[in-house]
Structure 1
Amino acid sequence: MDTFMEIVGNITKLSSVPLMILLVGGGIFLTFKLGFFQFRYFPHIMKSTFGKMFKKSEGEGTITAFQALAGSLASTVGAANIVGVPVAIALGGPGAIFWMWMVALIGMATKYSEVVLGMMYRTKNKRGEYVGGPMYYIDKGLGWKWMAILFACVQLLVVFGSTSAQANSLAGAISGSFEVPGIITGIVVSVLIALVMFGGLKSIGNFAEKVIPIMVVLYIVASLIVLIVNITVIPEAFALIFKYAFTPISAAGGFAGAAIAAAIRNGVARGLYSNEAGMGSAAIFHAGAKIKHPAKQGFWGVFEVFVDTIIISTITALVILTTDVWQVIEVNEAAGMTAAAMSSVFGSDLAGIIITVAIFFFAFTTILMVVYAGEKQAEYLFGYNASVIFRYIFIGAILFGSMSSLILIWSLLDILLALIVIPNMIAVILLSGKVKEITTDYFTNHYKKKTNLD
């Protein structure tokens, strides 16, 4: 087993650099291709999304635009926002946050493109629901059926592994705070996931639009209380981020120090895996949205990256930097930094409850949307009836994960994610001309002429 783990680790290291080059390079290419639209039209994008968040959407589709956003956010906003950010700081220093921001800004173009393509090549299934995603635009857009099948097959494995890993994190958090056995957590979560899933896409959308805003707001409020208590050192925290993005930082206390390369590497990795731009998952969730123009739904993809990385991950980073826990806690205990930071204001017991509740909702909603994505892969490969069978398999993965040690699965997931990103990014780049046509049409024929598409 040790030899196998070493092989997996070596493959992961070899794939990480070209993967980052593809994601970052692809994001830069799309940003140029689309004329830096995410910067030029950012106020309009925010007005079209945040400004009309609860407005009833019209057009062809199964769920509202906001329900599609909530579902996609459920997949991206997760335990990684609480755990991943402190790990990036522990390994790369405060400067890693700057590079996390940079990759998010170019990732907006990638996620926008994925959503637009998901809308362009979507289709109706047996239940009359709109379905789409990378497997559909790879198949219909490029005519590469073989690669679409490969993508869907690998995604099935990713869903099983990711569901198990999320369930394991959730069971561990609840066991640590409330001493509840993992199997009990697994059973409860499995039942709750099943109840929501069996209602179909509309049921998932209704659940997501109610839970996600509450989940995000509660975590942000708790974090803002910590920042208000430490408001005088917030400018200093920002100064650390900008200074050590371009300057090596020496060791201090539990912090081992970091070179500029470490700040870049960990910030980029955190940004890429946080908002999932390049993985294609957003196209699956947004494909069912009711909308009159694909670009309008693509704007929600930009908004999603903004909320996940620029807002939530930044708030987590500031909580850690303003409380100085990053200088005290060692790297191997970095996952507990957020709880330790909140303990300085709320006390260890209440902070533990806050973090556990946050991880519960984050992990639960992530599992829900990951299982939905898995169903869509099975539906594409084998038909709608097969997707119901796979639903039971994925729910079984929850029980498996809640009782298991998943070091191997986490390692294998890195390799599997690379096998998803590569075909998806190739398709998005090759179909970028279609995305540009849609974008040009919107800003020329609707934005400038002030056509009402709401």
Structure 2
Amino acid sequence: MDSFNQLLLSLDGMLGSAPWFPWVLLGVGFFFTIYLGFPQIRYFGHAIKIVQGKYDKPGDPGDTSHFQALATALSGTVGTGNIGGVGLAIFLGGPAALFWMWMTAFLGMTTKFVEVTLSHKYRIKAADGYYAGGPMFYMERRLNMKWLAVLFAIATVICSFGTGSLPQVNNIAQAMHDSFGIEKALTGGVLAILLGMVIIGGITRIAKVTSTIVPAMALIYVIGALGVIFYNIENIVPSFVAVFRDAFTGSAAVGGFLGASFAYAFNRGVNRGLFSNEAGQGSAPIAHAAARADEPVSEGMVSLLEPFIDTIIICTLTGLVILSSGVWSEKHENLFEGADTYVVEGRYDEGNPEEVKQLFNYLSSQPSDVKPYNGSVVVTDGRPLNAQDFTLIHARSIAEDLDFRVGEDEFSGVLNVVDGKFANEDVDIWGNPWCTQWRLPIRLSSAVSSASMVA
């Protein structure tokens, strides 16, 4: 499992976390924004009127209304990316990451306008009578690059598991288990049945369901978020100040947060921004291709609203909840995930800016004096006896008050560490056959749960 995780991290390093990624993503949006004369501003009001149905004509070709297409596309974006994605972005990049999520959304509005317009223009009416479209269609029909269309279609199917289903199902199952003790497999099975009942009905049933659920879901979330924000109303202005102040400088370490450079905040903000609104990912145009419209550009205008609703409104509310409440930099008891745990030589003090900077560089694969720990951790009744020899880091935060457990029992014994990772053959501390879990009640940032979720 650890090898598979390392493979995913390597792929992420070459793609989503690569230095070139945010520049390409924002660069495309910037080019079209200038070329088309800021359509996200000029056509914003007109897009709202289209969604309201003011320009609908009887007999327009398509299977769903503009609002249903918008809701269907939003159903794949409003969710984990707005909650866990924002929490992870802020925990990794600090308040400044929220600023770059806004920039991704603003420029992404134009990117989505372009991809949806093209998708609608080159859609086809399939043999079953329904309309089908997406980037793969205009890649084949306009660019005459069938190989690219096939490659995109395959990549989209794979991506749909990683961004469209697995994180959401995992979060729901985990929440149901923690709150009500319901087995995760049971939750997953029920969700699979309900999802199957919707999908079997085709795009029209999907659109009907999402057009009811998505608005209700968003409304409930907005009300809840505003409740937390107004409870901490005195911190709203300081939160905005922190977002803009750190946007081009990075954020200093505070509480459980190890700090972030400008480059890291920029990369994490853009990265999580895409995860939130999918502008440029190519998935939303598939839903919009079924909309009833005679002019493809009209559906493109509708899609302008997606990044605005998803990121600029909902993600901002999430960010303000996290920042105004102060939980992003606090420490909390937590359970560790093996993939997010690193053991380094020596004892590092999070109150020492230079030491924190070295740890940040180490975790970010930048030049650092920090070395991975190789040796043993001697544990008696759950407490490490040689705690001064090493520092344990989980999800970019220094762990405190370590408590090693096997199930509910305090662990006693010796744990071997090789290149900063636990490597015992006789004690599986990550929850496989030799023990049920390795429990570490510690003090860590609450945003760690977001980081653990996607590790």
Q: Same fold (TM over 0.5)?
A: yes
Q: Name 2:298's counterpart in structure 1.
A: 296
Counterparts of 1:161 and 1:320, CA distance in 2:
25
Q: Name 1:342's counterpart in structure 2.
A: none
Counterparts of 2:95 and 2:197, CA distance in 1:
42
SS of match in other structure, 2:15: helix
Counterparts of 1:260 and 1:118, CA distance in 2:
36
What does 1:298-313 align with in structure 2 at a 5 Å threshold? 298-313=300-315
Counterparts of 1:199 and 1:30, CA distance in 2:
36
Q: Name 1:85's counterpart in structure 2.
A: 86
Counterparts of 2:454 and 2:21, CA distance in 1:
17
What does 1:127-206 align with in structure 2 at a 5 Å threshold? 127-162=128-163, 163-206=165-208
Any idea what the Cα deviations from partners look like across 1:66-102, whole Å, max 9, x if unmatched? 1000000001111121111111111111111111111
Structure 1 gap ranges (5+): 336-406, 412-454
Structure 1 position 223 matched with structure 2 position 260 = no
Over 3 Å counting, the alpha-carbon distance change for 1:333 and 1:320 in structure 2 is: farther
Counterparts of 2:224 and 2:15, CA distance in 1:
37
TM-fit CA distance, 1:43: 3.4
Any idea what the Cα deviations from partners look like across 1:232-268, whole Å, max 9, x if unmatched? 3212211111111123332222122222222212111
Counterparts of 2:167 and 2:231, CA distance in 1:
35
What does 1:259-408 align with in structure 2 at a 5 Å threshold? 259-329=261-331
Q: Name 2:434's counterpart in structure 1.
A: none
Q: Name 2:6's counterpart in structure 1.
A: 6
Over 3 Å counting, the alpha-carbon distance change for 1:178 and 1:409 in structure 2 is: closer
SS of match in other structure, 2:142: helix
SS of match in other structure, 1:218: helix
State whether residues 122 and 132 of structure 1, in contact with CA within 8 Å, keep that contact through their aligned partners in structure 2.
yes
Q: Provide runs of 4+ in structure 1 moved above 6 Å.
A: 53-57, 330-335, 407-411
Aligned residue pairs, count: 338
Counterparts of 2:53 and 2:69, CA distance in 1:
11
What does 1:29-178 align with in structure 2 at a 5 Å threshold? 29-49=31-51, 52=52, 58=58, 59-162=60-163, 163-178=165-180
Counterparts of 2:110 and 2:119, CA distance in 1:
14
Structure 2 gap ranges (5+): 338-450
TM-fit CA distance, 1:334: 12
Q: Residue type of the partner of 2:187?
A: T
Q: Which moved more, 1:25-34 or 1:324-333?
A: 324-333
State whether residues 93 and 250 of structure 2, in contact with CA within 8 Å, keep that contact through their aligned partners in structure 1.
no
CA-atom RMSD in angstroms: 2.7
Q: Name 2:249's counterpart in structure 1.
A: 247
State whether residues 43 and 301 of structure 2, in contact with CA within 8 Å, keep that contact through their aligned partners in structure 1.
no
**How does the TM-score come out when normalised to structure 1?**
0.69
Q: Which moved more, 1:281-290 or 1:294-303?
A: 294-303
| Largest Rg, 1 or 2 | 2
SS of match in other structure, 1:142: coil
Q: Name 1:212's counterpart in structure 2.
A: 214
- Greater relative contact order structure (CA < 8 Å, 6+ sep): 1
Over 3 Å counting, the alpha-carbon distance change for 1:47 and 1:237 in structure 2 is: farther
TM-fit CA distance, 1:212: 0.5
State whether residues 125 and 131 of structure 1, in contact with CA within 8 Å, keep that contact through their aligned partners in structure 2.
yes
SS of match in other structure, 1:211: helix
TM-fit CA distance, 1:410: 6.3
Counterparts of 2:38 and 2:200, CA distance in 1:
41
Over 3 Å counting, the alpha-carbon distance change for 1:40 and 1:161 in structure 2 is: closer
SS of match in other structure, 2:280: coil
State whether residues 91 and 331 of structure 1, in contact with CA within 8 Å, keep that contact through their aligned partners in structure 2.
no
- % identical equivalent positions: 41
**How does the TM-score come out when normalised to structure 2?**
0.69
Q: Residue type of the partner of 1:171?
A: A
State whether residues 156 and 283 of structure 2, in contact with CA within 8 Å, keep that contact through their aligned partners in structure 1.
no
State whether residues 249 and 258 of structure 1, in contact with CA within 8 Å, keep that contact through their aligned partners in structure 2.
yes
Counterparts of 2:72 and 2:265, CA distance in 1:
31
Larger strand fraction of residues: 2
Q: Name 1:449's counterpart in structure 2.
A: none
Q: Residue type of the partner of 2:87?
A: P
